[in-house]
Amino acid sequence: MARRKLPVALLSMEGTNCDRELRVALDHLGAAPEVVHLKQFEGREVERAERRTLADYAALFVPGGFSAGDYVRAGAIFAARVRAAIGPELEEFVRAGHYVGGICNGFQVLTELGLLPGRRGGRLQRPDAVLMTNDSGRFECRPTFVAWDGGTFPPLRPVERGTRFLFPSAHGEGKLVLGGDAAARLRALEEEGQILFRWVAPDGGSARYPWNPNGSEGNVAGLTNPEGNVFGLMPHPERSFFRSQAFDWSRGGGPEGLGDGATFLRAVLDRAAERS
Give the residue numbers annotated as catalytic, written as ranges: 104, 236, 238
Task: Classify residue 69 as left (phi > 0), alpha (psi -120 to 50) or beta.
Answer: left
- Spatial separation of the C-alpha atoms in residues 214 and 221, rounded to whole Å: 9
Nearest CA to 225 out of 102, 86, 75, 85 is that of 102
